[in-house]
Chains A and B, each alone.
Chain A
Amino acid sequence: MLEAVLQKKLRDYSLDLNLTVNSGEIMVLMGMNGSGKSTTLNIIAGLLEPDRASITLNGELICRTDDGIDVAVEDRKIGYVLQNSAVFPHMSVKENVAYGLKARHIAADEIARRVGYWMEHINIADLAEVKAGNLSGGQKQRVALARALAIEPSLLMMDEPFTALDAESTQTVKDLTIKFIRKLSIPCIVVTHRLTDSTEIGDRACVLCHGKKEWEGVPTEMPGFCSVCHCRD
């Protein structure tokens, strides 16, 4: 379970957000460009310093600015899949999936086991030796998902993971995400700006507007307007 209270002054507004995501639940974070979605993920991941924050993951405090607690990015065990997938183009698919495990100094036989497991379950086993730079957008996103899940994260975050994908690849990545979030029973945050994504993948949705929570609930009940600044009227 993720519990986050975040505050950060940005250029045009202040991000001020309370977020709770249960284990095995997919929370869809929505909002216009610049509403603070990616900033939220970056603060939780530890890539961006908040002005004030308290972040608890499965009962473990990973950040509390008031007490000077700030676990380093590499020690947070958060799987983060970005929009452009960021698979390392000079490495093979197999090396990409093994990257996080090697960085965490996991034993070689365990690395081989986990890499084999995830490549098989994410359907990329036949691409094992292919250089990641030569993959299609959908294949890259699957590799990014396998790589993020291989480290056995306590939280999975995906920033606009479907934007660059065709309809078939989008559906594949959505199905795989739902399947493994349920199976691993970890919280998951998916940032998207498409309403269809939220209804198809999200258990709950949170709409941000200028850094504030505008609405939260079941995606199918999401209003089509913005009650805060009317930016979606």
Chain B
Amino acid sequence: MTFWKPRSVQLKKKLAFAGAGILIAAVTLYLFLPILAVFLRITPERFFQTLQDPNVISALWLSMITTIITLIIVVAVGTPFAYFHSRYSYPGKVIVDTLIDLPLVLPPAVAGVALLMLYGRVGLLGKYFNMVGIQIAFTTLAVIMAQIFVASPFYLRQAKSLFEQIDPAYEQTSRTLGASPVRTLFLVTLPMTTSGLISGAVMTFGRALGEFGATIMFAGNVPGTTQTMPLAVYVGMQGDFYVGLTISILLVIISFAIMIAVRLIQKREEQHA
């Protein structure tokens, strides 16, 4: 009996390790195998050949341009918004907090319908724009607006949380030392949040680049005007299979690069903490 107990504990440990190993392997394979399957379905020659397809180039350029514009707008408007939102109390702040998070849980297609109901040709505001000859829905502008709607919460949440975490003592000290509020913002607050803001911006870029549902509902699917990479994948899979596959590989590579960038930024933050 004296030998049995330790051996039983050892066996239990081995079984626990084996169970954990199987679980980790199963989850990893479940997430990784589909990605691998995309890469294995096409030869490198075919991939580089399809990359020169006008539909691929057009979707790639449109996606890049619209996503970069989206990112610039989100950072330029979102940073001061998050700063003021975290620094001041105002009536309805809780409601604004909820509304910021809403696009995260709202199905993207519903977001597209909502944008269409507001800015569409007969929409709440769209009818007035239409009266003066401005059409928003089904244009490149609509692509950007849809991306901003679904992707901005990633940046706003991150920026808001960063500004809330900064000890007010830093800004107060800066002011007593003779710095104006603007100088304090640019020399103290923003540098102390830069890594986190970049991380939020990278996630926003990734979400905007992959946006599909809201875009197809609000901007449509016109090659060269509103057909972004995810939409081109959808069309490609119904027609030219290799176009869909090639763009999918591009999106996987970009997404992977985004995740590596975020990890590197987080690692840098940890080292400086």
CB interface residues, A 61-98, toward B, < 8 Å? 73-80, 82-84, 86, 88-90
B183 at the A interface (CB under 8 A): yes
Whether the pair B177, A82 counts as a contact (CB closer than 8 A) is no
CB interface residues, B 169-216, toward A, < 8 Å? 169-170, 172-180, 183, 187-188, 191-192
Given known A84-B167, A88-B170, A89-B192, contact A151–B272 (CB-CB < 8 A): no
A182 at the B interface (CB under 8 A): no
- Chain B residues with Cβ under 8 A from A76's Cβ? 176
Choose among A46, A77, A80 the residue that contacts B173 (Cβ–Cβ < 8 A).
Answer: A80
Cα of A147 to Cα of B172 in the assembled complex, Å = 14
Q: Say which size band chain B's interface belongs to.
A: 10 to 19
Q: Give the residue name and chain of the B residue nearest to A42 (CB).
A: B172
Given known A82-B169, A84-B167, contact A90–B192 (CB-CB < 8 A): yes
- Chain A residues with Cβ under 8 A from B176's Cβ? 45-47, 73-74, 76, 78-80
Against B, the Cβ 8 Å flags (1 = close, 0 = not) of A163-178 are 0000000000000000
- Chain A residues with Cβ under 8 A from B169's Cβ? 82-84, 86
Cα of A100 to Cα of B177 in the assembled complex, Å = 5
Whether the pair B177, A147 counts as a contact (CB closer than 8 A) is yes
A133 at the B interface (CB under 8 A): yes
Interface size on A, residues (CB 8 A): 28
Whether the pair A151, B167 counts as a contact (CB closer than 8 A) is no
Whether the pair B173, A74 counts as a contact (CB closer than 8 A) is no
Whether the pair A80, B172 counts as a contact (CB closer than 8 A) is yes
- Chain B residues with Cβ under 8 A from A79's Cβ? 176
A104 at the B interface (CB under 8 A): yes
Whether the pair B179, A74 counts as a contact (CB closer than 8 A) is yes
Cα of A144 to Cα of B177 in the assembled complex, Å = 11
Whether the pair A47, B172 counts as a contact (CB closer than 8 A) is yes
Instruction: Give chain B nearest CB distance to A89 CB in angstroms.
Output: 7
- Chain A residues with Cβ under 8 A from B172's Cβ? 42, 45, 47, 80, 82, 86
Choose among B175, B183, B272 the residue that contacts A47 (Cβ–Cβ < 8 A).
Answer: B175
Whether the pair B191, A90 counts as a contact (CB closer than 8 A) is yes
- Chain A residues with Cβ under 8 A from B177's Cβ? 74, 99-100, 103, 147-148, 151
Instruction: Give chain A nearest CB distance to B88 CB in angstroms.
Output: 15
Cα of A82 to Cα of B175 in the assembled complex, Å = 13
Whether the pair A74, B178 counts as a contact (CB closer than 8 A) is yes
- Chain B residues with Cβ under 8 A from A100's Cβ? 177-179
- Chain B residues with Cβ under 8 A from A83's Cβ? 169
- Chain B residues with Cβ under 8 A from A148's Cβ? 177
Cα of A149 to Cα of B178 in the assembled complex, Å = 13
Pull 16 A–B residue pairs with CB atoms less than 8 Å apart, ordered by A. A46-B175, A46-B176, A73-B175, A79-B176, A84-B167, A86-B172, A86-B173, A88-B170, A88-B174, A88-B187, A99-B174, A99-B179, A100-B177, A103-B178, A103-B183, A104-B178
The chain A residues found within 8 Å of chain B, CB to CB, are 42, 45-47, 73-80, 82-84, 86, 88-90, 99-100, 103-104, 133, 144, 147-148, 151
Contacts A84-B167, A88-B187 aside, 4 further interface pairs with beta carbons under 8 A come to A47-B175, A90-B192, A103-B178, A103-B180
